[in-house]
Amino acid sequence: MIWLIGLGGVAGTLARFYGGKWMNARTGSSFPWGTWAINISGSLLLGILFGLHEAGRLSEGVWLTLGTGFCGAYTTFSTFGHETVQLVSNGQTRRAALYVLSSVVLGLASAGLGLAFF
């Protein structure tokens, strides 16, 4: 089963890397939209997957591949922390505060929304 987590992790890492680059290239903003969108969408997806798994509608293998592997690699707390510190270091304290607040509130709300489907 470990290989399933690894397989999902590779896919999640690639989706985060290319998805984040794509989003940041489109916005042209100093706000880290790529990481923000990935963390929010990943929270929603994990909530949905967890709900399916808890309801017995998702096998253990699929849960490990998508929930643990993909979502674990797709979402990123370390990049979120680094980007927040960068914003503060660049004197963009309000943007940093907005980033932190919106990431936490919307991330939790998205996970809850995903779970609420089940």
- Provide DSSP, the chain: -HHHHHHHHHHHHHHHHHHHHHHHHHH--SS-HHHHHHHHHHHHHHHHHHHHHHTT-S-HHHIIIIIIIIHHHHS-HHHHHHHHHHHHHTT-HHHHHHHHHHHHHHHHHHHHHHHHT-
Known binding residues are 72, 75
Known binding residues for Na(+) are 72, 75
